[in-house]
Structure 1
Amino acid sequence: MFGKDIGIDLGTANVLIHIRGKGVVLDEPSVVAIHSDSKRAFEVGEAARKMVGRTPGNITAIRPLKDGVIADFEITEIMLKYFISKVGGKLWYARPRILICAPTEITSVEQKAIREAALRSGAKEVFLEEEPKAAAIGAGMDIYQPSGNMVVDIGGGTTDVAVLSMGDIVTSSSIKVAGDKLDQAIIRYIKNKYKLLIGDRTAEEIKINIGTVSPEQTNNEMDIRGRDLVSGLPLTITIYANEIKEALWDSVSAIVSAAKNVLERTPPELSADIIDRGIILTGGGAMLSGMDVLMSEQLKVPVLIAEDPMHCVVKGTGLMLDYLDKVPNKSR
């Protein structure tokens, strides 16, 4: 186990770790519960996620990544150290080389923050790679041929769109509209329409269970609980999929527009390849009901959902670990 190279999908919603020769060994929420006074970690990952919105005053559940980048450096470092030690165990004497994925359009300052957090978490060397590239490789696309491949990776904090050819990105776009923004849109809609306040976890459950952008699946319903803003008391209401479609429409339209923008900037020969091969959807947002059909209708190109879309980025990092020395973006 010790001395292994590891790949990390440092996501806004989840952290996934791939160990060379072992496969994906960790998939946990990017959440840390800390003691407010001492700033010490109380719980990390899934245990901390269960505490979101339910902690007493002396404990705070924090998501240290926002919009695909580090919002709280200290907490990110605590989280990474915990996850790396969890998968490495006490036998990890030799510090590992780490390949981390990041959104395509983050600044050099944001890149440096990711590198520093990984180095201080015990890495010997840190390599940075762009998320859509790893997602495309993890989805099984052969991006090293002289032909066009397009991927739309809808994560928790960002949606990354890229056209790749000969092993590199030709055109790309990264927008801060993804899973978290969809959850916030649901919270706002229910608050405005029903004067009911719900939490992030409830919004995510609504999105997963009855969230849709398809006109065919709008009859599904779900009972939800929250706090009535008028009386201040707990209240249960029934909501329908057609309402959630309405709530999500603006955010989903922004994702479609980003994909359209990348297509418009793509060289014509590569555009022809994309018509033949289609666009691959990866990330948790790919599983939103009807997303593939809507994008296909809007972009006039076949759109396919990757097999196991949630794990495409981390699987891609695992495959790229074999070629770590060729990754240009590294630090010691």
Structure 2
Amino acid sequence: MTPRNEDLGAAAGAPVADEHARIERAAAESTAPKSAFARLADSSAGRNSGLVLALVVICAIGLITKGDTFATTDNVWTILRLAAVGGVISVGMTFVIIAGGIDLSVGAIVALASVWATTTGTQDIGTFGIIFTSIVVATACGVINGVLIAYGKVVAFIATLAGLATYRGLAENLSDRKTQSIDTPSGFLDFFGAEPGGIPVLVIMFAVVAVLGWLLLNRTTFGRRTFAIGGNPEAARLAGINVKRQTVMLYALLGFLCGIATIMILARTSAGTSTHGNLYELDAIAAVVIGGTLLSGGRGTIVGTVFGVLIFQTLNNIFTLNNLTTSTQAVAKGLIIVAAVLLQQRVAKTSRS
């Protein structure tokens, strides 16, 4: 029996009607107000609260395993002093990763700057000369990385990997693989070794860099351009942003902060060596990733990075107090980085869905 026309029309229209209904339901769900918990989880405050909880748990582990040593005031200041150097570099790394880049050469830059500064330091150039040399050398290395990536169109991973080998090699040649101790000017040590109000100057420097980094990232055009490039470089270019110049400036900023970190190391050790900054790139990237910055770029926070630095340095301190080897510490760091990236991917997938 031949079906009637109205039956065929109904059959053909049924899938269309079902699709329309599905689209309307999806639209209603997407516009429906989120719960308070969901809004908190999506906010930066919610993400940072997770980092605070992680830090509290790690501190609890320290109290349980080595409470008599871990909870002392001296140990707390030790953690903060050691966190300061890596923290300054991590702030700069946050900017680069938010823009979709990476820098594997930061440790080698610190080594080269320390060797160069101590080489000139033997010529009695004084406190200003040591500071100036450290910053200029490190910033120049950052500019070279940025130019290779932006104008040479070399992939950031490859360009900075080459920088890692080159800068470390230059440091070894300049120092002949020896530790260069210098008669550090008394004013240099007096300033950077001071503790105004009981707070070490190195910790104050880290705090100042973190605050200025937060302001630069969240309250300036420079920061907005950084997020735009990380989110979509082509769209940023079409919007009128000079992506190449911004990229060079970002790597120059990271180089500058490596110079600040070099000064902090010289204040602690009074020596330059080609082994300074070993694996700093791992610590910086780990802190940034743990802090919630996406390796793919486009999202990140300075506050999260600060917590990431504190988490890793506290872990290192607990490992040291419990006499665990550096190899064990490296394995733990690697596992934590992998876990953080997997968690980021899961969160991003959930956000998209």
Query: Which TM-score band applies after superposition, normalised by the shorter structure?
Result: under 0.3
Going by fraction, where is helix more abundant, 1 or 2?
A: 2
Return the TM-score normalized by structure 1. 0.26
